[in-house]
Amino acid sequence: MSRLLLGSVGRPCLTGILSVTLAILVAAFTFFGSATSLVEAYDQNALEVHVNRIIRVEDGGAVAMNDTITISRSVNGTVNRLSRFLVGVPRSFEKNLARIYAYDGSSGLEAVRNVSLGRADICGFEIIFPNEVNLDEVETYSFTVLYVFSGLLNPETLMEFRFEFPQYPTLEYEIQSYNLTVVLPPKAKEPAGSIPFNETAEGDSLALKYSEGAVSAFAKDSAWVTFSSADFKLLDVREMTRRIVVDEWGNIAVSDRYYIINRATLAVSRLSLRVPRNATSISAQDIYGSLKVEVAEASSHVDVKVSLREDFKKGKGVKLLITYSLPSELYLEYDGWDGYTLTMEPLTYNNWWIVRRLNVVVVLPEGAEFQSSSGDLSSLERNAFQETLTFTEHNATEFDELSLDLRYKYGVLWASFRPTVWTGLLTSLLGTLLYMRRPPKPTVPTVPVPVETLRDFIKKYEEKRRIIQNIEVMERQVRRGKLPRRRYKVRRDSLERRLSRLQKDLDSLRKEVESVSRRYSELMRDLEVAEAELETVKASLERLRARYRRREISSGAYNRLLEEYNRRRERAESTIDEVILRLEEELR
């Protein structure tokens, strides 16, 4: 009874205890959540932040967004020391971000990509300060973050362009004041935008200005601007390969190879490029040949304007090759008797372009040995006595400040390597020729054969062949009983008399032709041998037929020998035809 009473009383008590515990937990989570929100709100106002943003639209389509961030300790803030600072861009602009840079005065700062800001819609970056910043000592501290975008601009019409950009900086702190300036390309006009800009002039460019008092943390709004221009080019530089060849005498030959695609609606007929200062022998060509160039010397580079063979339209590409020479006294330094340093700065002179893939290929002289370089080497190829080095960068811009500082060793005796090899080969070849040389045989002067003699010989010889052929035809007709023997004998006697007279004339003409030169003598000898072969074959055929009629040989042997004699006759006749043909060629 007591157990039942105790059990019935225990259930309500247990239920009450659980309810109280649950209420306490809910209250605790609510309190900690509120506390966390307070901490976040407190952290967002722990610093006083001011930002000046300048966006420049470069000819070619690159967009450079420069944020100058000034921070100081807020009145109620507890942050007085900083070793890093987090910045970001909206995730929708991440695919267009080519590069990010950070600067502290004149020195660069490390910018670490893909840092979490606790928001999935924001791509974060961590700016690391080399020395901890004490805001109690410096009061304010300024640094710059530079974002370089590609693909933000798009053509609206033939001469109208539109681009979208982040309207505000994306920071983990609230911004107390914000100034925005958008600088359009030179000669751009008719600007319009999604925010109320104040339009001013900066040289031959338009500047659109906008200010706002306060910007919340983690802002990710975007804005857009349109403008029109007849000269603006929207290009995609897929690849640039600069090939630097240093020969054994220190001469420097350079070739810049470009692959460029036009993204604008307006066709492009001329491109402006840049090559290093003091470049000479500048030329340009496409896959079909040379192109017209206009060269203008500047203080830090040489401007090269290339007139294209034909306009290349939207979506089309062009491949260009610019070749030139550089003076070794400006770009090649000597260090001791075998040390050399090749220096070139910067490597990209087209400051308004983003190069998707930049290859710098250096071909050292034969016998040179690579020692060190300022950049990371992508590949080193050794071919016989020569080394070829390749450096590769992706999404290269003017702000990369890429430079080449390459050191190699080169012995002075290597300059004479190839001349020595060629001299040795030439000497060996000359010695071989002298060894194999024999005293020349005396040559018999060639006397031209009179044309009439050759023509008469050919004519009479062809007549001889026709007579012999007629006699053979009559013999076959007699054997078959188609020609009476009496008529055959009369006609045969007439043809043989004519054949006898022709043979006497041919013998005389043959001697005259043979006396001209050895070549004609050999032709006459070949002709005589072939004629003798025909006579032999003819006699052999007559004996073969006689033996077959007397049944001295079987049918199989007869047919086999008959086939053999016919082949011999065909070869002899072919030789005669060839000799006559060669004689006829002499008449042409």
Would you say the C-alpha torsion 550, 556, 560, 562 has a positive or negative sign? positive
Note the pLDDT tens digit of each residue in 198-213. Answer: 999 988 899 999 999 8
Q: Which of 103, 228, 108, 66 is nearest to 160 (CA)?
A: 228
DSSP state, residue 480: T
pLDDT: which is higher, 459 or 106: 459
Are the CB atoms for 169 and 125 separated by under 8 Å? no
Specify the pLDDT at position 139: 83
Q: Can you give the pLDDT at residue 427?
A: 66
189 touches 227 (CB < 8 A) = yes
* Predicted model pTM: 0.62
Which residues sit opposite 137 in a β-bridge?
Answer: none
Separation of alpha carbons 304 and 284, rounded Å: 9
Residue 218 has pLDDT above 70, yes or no: yes
Q: Is the pLDDT at 11 greater than 80, yes or no? A: no
The region of weakest confidence among 95-99, 348-352, 475-479, 514-518 is 348-352
Would the CATH topology of 47-228 be identical to that of 235-415?
yes
Predicted local confidence at residue 337, as pLDDT: 74
The confidence band for 588, taking pLDDT boundaries of 50, 70 and 90, is low
Give the number of other Cβ atoms within 10 Å of residue 89's Cβ: 22
> Could you state, in order of their start, the residue ranges of all structural domains in the chain?
47-228, 235-415, 451-586
pLDDT for the residue 51: 97
Residue 53's CB is within 10 A of a number of other CB atoms, namely 22
Average pLDDT over residues 447-470: 79
Closest-CA residue to 44 (of 84, 89, 74): 74
The rounded radius of gyration (Å) of the Cα atoms in the chain is 49
Per-residue CA distances from 302 to 268, 299, 332, 559 (Å) = 21, 8, 19, 90
pLDDT score of 12 more than 70: no
* Residue 334 amino acid letter: Y
**What fold is seen in the domain 235-415?**
Immunoglobulin-like (2.60.40)
| 3-state percent helix, strand, coil for the chain, nearest multiple of 5 | 35, 40, 25
Residue 400 pLDDT: 82
What's the 3-state SS for 228-290?
ECCCCCEEEEEEEEEEEEECCCCCEEEEEEEEEEECCCCCEEEEEEEEECCCEEEEEEECCEE
Residue 167 has pLDDT above 80, yes or no: yes
Q: Torsion angle of alpha carbons 135, 136, 137, 140, nearest 10°?
A: 40
CATH code of the region 47-228: 2.60.40.3650
Quote the CA–CA distance of 546 and 472 in Å, as a whole number: 17
C-alpha span between 224 and 167 (Å, rounded): 8
Would you say 146 and 65 are in contact if contact means Cβ atoms under 8 Å apart?
yes
Share of the chain above pLDDT 90, in %: 40
Rounded Cα–Cα distance for residues 356 and 397 (Å): 9
pLDDT at 560: 84
Bridge partners (DSSP) of residue 242 are 256, 360
Cα distance between residue 171 and residue 143, in whole Å: 14
